[in-house]
Amino acid sequence: MYITKPDKGDYANFQEKYIDKIEEGDILEILSRQIDRAVVIFEKFKGNGDLRYEEDKWTVKQVIQHITDAERVFSYRLLRLGRGDETPLPGFDENSYAETANVEHRDEEELISELVAVRSGTFSLVKSLTGEMISGSGVTGDYRITVPALLYVIAGHFEHHLYILEERYAPLLQDG
């Protein structure tokens, strides 16, 4: 499915950092490649899920859970906007989600499996979208966003966190 990259004005300014991480292209292909790459990256952290790159930063497990939680929220928004629901949707506090997720008792494999399942659901939802659904938009938080912008945010947010894991967390594995 080819969906053109959104224009500025189709999303909030703070989301630009996510959208800029994704090249225009087949969004289904992009989403599929990402999950395959993520699984390889996450495998590096098995047994090291409590690793933090700084004392006040999230653990690897919290990052994986955050990616999963955010994708669930974004996918729900995508469903609502794609179905033409104009009801404004609230924002969400990623830090409170991370604090209350209680990932300490879970192992990395379980968290990875959950993320793969969530991405599979997102993938199925995106495949179900018709041209009319793709032209939808709505309000999330305090800003208007289009369906294409939300798709690029999903991919870009995911990419953002993979980059952080590779650049800030992975080097600590080599030092240990």
Residue-wise pLDDT tens digits, 106-123: 999 999 999 999 999 999
Q: What is the mean pLDDT of residues 6-19?
A: 96
DSSP codes, the chain:
-EEPPPPTTSS-GGGHHHHTTS-SEEHHHHHHHHHHHHHHHHHTTTT-TT--SSTTSPPHHHHHHHHHHHHHHHHHHHHHHHTT--S-B----HHHHHHHS-GGGS-HHHHHHHHHHHHHHHHHHHHH--HHHHT-EEEETTEEEEHHHHHHHHHHHHHHHHHHIIIIIHHHHHH-
Domains and CATH numbers, the chain: 2-175 (1.20.120.450)
Residue-wise pLDDT tens digits, 40-54: 999 999 999 999 999
Residue-wise pLDDT tens digits, 165-175: 999 999 999 75
Residue-wise pLDDT tens digits, 75-97: 999 999 999 998 999 999 999 99
pLDDT attached to residue 175: 57
**Among 9, 11, 6, 10, CA closest to 22:** 6
